[in-house]
Homo-oligomer: A and B are copies of this chain.
């Protein structure tokens, strides 16, 4: 296959991030399996450094910079998880970082990004164009702009999730029928799909996105990149990208079996199920693949299904609401 990222790029990324990133576990709960009617293996990627997979791609991208580029620093724009990933990777590699973030990002994401030592520039989701802000800031400082998904090295870094899933499933003696992956810009699904198509060729791969933000489902069907209608809302703040990325669409259109759009209510229930049965804290985006299974939208009866759960950066009030009641 002639794709913009190869399996070897992911293997190389895995070598580069080893020691810095956490090899997160594949966990399972017998009681959750009973509810789902199949065997659900949860890639607990919320336990990653910075609480999401974004650290992998950011570290892989930043560690490829030469000395001059490292001195000049990096710029990124992000709703919060890529922000933390870039900030933490930059801190480890001693690179100055400026992050453009929405003013209404969850407080935990803003606080942690600051705590990793990054400079933060806020924008208004409704009014400002964060891409333009990022490009301008990078130009002003001769800094490198680090895209959150449409970049070969970033995609390769995220793909290390797929290598780990394959290795852990093999160690458990599990053959994966399907892998469900949360999808905004598409970097995690693209990288993971490349890794899995080589390592678990028999498994089908699906993207999962919030209702109202089903650009992937429609784009994959149409065979071209379609945008989300403006005005939709979801509490999955990490999955609100307006349209599939260019590189990520090229990959996902080739490798994915489809995309599922899940309602916020089902996501909140999945957050509660992860709390009760897996003992994992998940943010809405992190619970969306699990929600696709528990809501019955993805039928996993008699199947072994891996759901990727990332990230886990959620404000206490949002989490409290999700786990309230029965």
Contacts and interface: CB of A to CB of B under 8 A. Distances in A.
A316 interface: yes
How many chain copies?
2
Interface string A38-57: 00000010110101000000
A324 B275 CA distance: 16
A108 B319 CA distance: 18
B88 A51 contact: no
A22 interface: yes
A251 to B, nearest CB: 28
Contact of A312 (B51, B272, B279): B279
Nearest to A51: B279
Contacts of A272: 316
Contacts of A324: 316, 320
B320 A31 contact: no
Interface string A85-112: 0001000000000000000000010001
Contact of A22 (B27, B115, B282, B325): B27
Contacts of A112: 31
A275 B316 CA distance: 8
A193 to B, nearest CB: 25
A279 B276 contact: no
Nearest to A115: B31
Contacts of A46: 279
Top 5 nearest A-B pairs by Cβ distance? A279-B312, A279-B281, A316-B323, A46-B279, A320-B320
Interface of A: 22, 25, 27, 30-31, 34, 44, 46-47, 49, 51, 88, 108, 112, 115-116, 272, 275-276, 278-282, 312, 316, 319-320, 323-325
Given A272-B316, A276-B316, 14 more contacts: A30-B49, A31-B112, A31-B115, A44-B47, A47-B279, A275-B316, A275-B319, A279-B280, A280-B280, A281-B281, A316-B324, A316-B325, A319-B323, A320-B324
